[in-house]
Homo-oligomer: A and B are copies of this chain.
Amino acid sequence: MPDTTPVFLEEFINLHPADLADRLQRLSLEEAQRVLGELPPALAAGALAELEHDRQRELSVTLPVQKLTPLLTELPPKVVADLVPALPPSARRATLDALPAGQRQRVQALLRYMPDTAGGIMSDRFIMLRDDMTVEQVRELLRAQAQEERAEDIAYLYVTDAAHRLVGIVSLRDLVFRRAERRMSEIMKHDVKFLRANDDQEKIAQQFEHYHYLGLPVLDREGRLVGVVKASDALEVAQAEATEDMQLMVGLSGEERALTPWHKAVRLRLPWLYINLGTAFLAAAVVNLFESTIAKWTVLAVFLPVIAGQGGNAGMQTLTVIIRDLALGELTTGDGRKALFKELLLGLVNGLAVGLVVGIVGYLWKGSAALGLVAAGAMVLNQLSAALAGVAIPFGLKALRVDPALASSIFVTTVTDVAGFFFFLGLAMLALRWAGS
């Protein structure tokens, strides 16, 4: 058979699927489509599975069902289940129907779970053994399955009773060394750590960080084994979650990358800038209340950035600590009062320390003891507002069942701006009245 590989494909066909995905990520959509369409289905499928979700969606959507299906049949059910929800609603049904029945059932079973739960992250490729099987029977079973599943995916073998309830775990190592006639129930380890299908991403990351396993079994409500979450998948999810929180905090969607096209980034960022603008006008309205005070004492305007800057920074410090610990499950809802108390105490101490310096600078720079006192007092009150907002806003968002990180820095700086200006200009007005009387 003559070699009919087109020249432009040669550089792609010998790559690892993950590396091929990297290359496809950097091509234009049209080029990526062309390469994917020409590659052998197994390789194209592997690369498709490794692509970032945006690109995966763009490419899956533009491939017709009859081109997409051969790729999907090459992929494990877990990967197909991750891909299907990205398709336009009209194509989902047709794509599922085009899959072989066995694969379709496994995909549909996985699709029943929410994407950010253990059920949504788990793979259904794992080895399940009955507790009355012998070592010899298990060796036979594995030999028969050796073709289907990739060897490197398997770290543990799970043992269930007749009702598919997880009762123990054995290692591949046990199969090498144990006598052929021993039963699983005799050699298995009984104390197995597991996840529940509806455990959320944070719980999952926490369990892996805590126990250092290579994989954790997932049980449904009845205690039946339904899947396995691998440590590397949990790693990816934890990383996505942590960086998503960083983005959500400052008013980004969690999806933007440094090289996302600018017109798409505008759509993602501008709404948050408008929300921030609305809150900035709130702060402006507070300053506006005191316009006559500023007209009499213009130097107050010079100190506005100091008030806003310190309050904002302190608020962000508190917020970042709280959001991290909420995200990683190290802080529970019940710990809220304890955290608030710590932050208020800290705000008081930091407020006094910073207020003292601001007061002294105010006095030395502008020669006004009154300005120094007003600025110092406002600084203490503003640090306390920052502490309150930095704890209350993420806990409040969580109570509303919204991601505690969502736009929280915008809300916190609104509070610190509004409160800071109000205290600073209000105290200044009182000082002017007192001096003027």
Contact = CB atoms under 8 A, between A and B. Distances in A.
A154 B233 CA distance: 18
Nearest to A139: B176
A423 to B, nearest CB: 14
Given A259-B335, A305-B417, A349-B266, A291 B283 contact: no
A272 B173 contact: no
A133 interface: no
B239 A205 contact: yes
A215 B152 CA distance: 10
Contacts of A322: 258
B350 A269 contact: yes
Interface residues of A, number: 122
Contacts of A350: 266, 269-270, 273
A94 interface: no
Contact of A239 (B239, B317, B358): B239
A231 B214 contact: yes
A339 interface: yes
Most buried by B among A16, A302, A361: A302
A261 B342 CA distance: 7
Contacts of A243: 242, 324, 327-328
A235 B234 contact: yes
Given A211-B16, A280-B310, A269 B151 contact: no
A126 interface: no
A306 B287 CA distance: 11
A308 interface: yes
Number of copies: 2
B252 A317 contact: yes
Contacts of A174: 151
A346 B247 CA distance: 17
A309 B417 contact: yes
A391 B295 CA distance: 38
A233 B325 CA distance: 19
Interface string A318-362: 011111111110110001001100100110011001100110010
A112 interface: no
Contacts of A152: 155-156, 171, 213-214
Interface string A171-183: 1111111000000
Nearest to A52: B330
Contacts of A409: 313, 316
A152 to B, nearest CB: 6
Contacts of A284: 302-303, 305-306
Given A214-B155, A232-B209, A281-B361, A312 B312 contact: yes
Contacts of A119: none
A273 B407 CA distance: 23
A9 interface: no
A246 B172 CA distance: 40
A146 interface: yes
A29 interface: no
Contacts of A349: 262, 266
12 contacts: A209-B239, A213-B232, A214-B230, A242-B242, A250-B316, A257-B325, A258-B335, A259-B331, A272-B317, A276-B310, A277-B357, A308-B309
Interface of A: 16, 18, 22, 50, 139, 142-143, 146, 151-152, 154-156, 171-177, 191, 193, 205, 208-215, 230-236, 238-239, 242-243, 245-247, 249-252, 256-262, 265-266, 269-270, 272-274, 276-277, 279-281, 283-284, 287-288, 291, 294-295, 298-306, 308-310, 312-314, 316-317, 319-328, 330-331, 335, 338-339, 342, 345-346, 349-350, 353-354, 357-358, 361, 409-410, 413, 417, 421
Given A260-B321, A291-B302, 9 more contacts: A18-B212, A142-B173, A154-B173, A172-B176, A212-B230, A214-B232, A262-B346, A280-B305, A283-B309
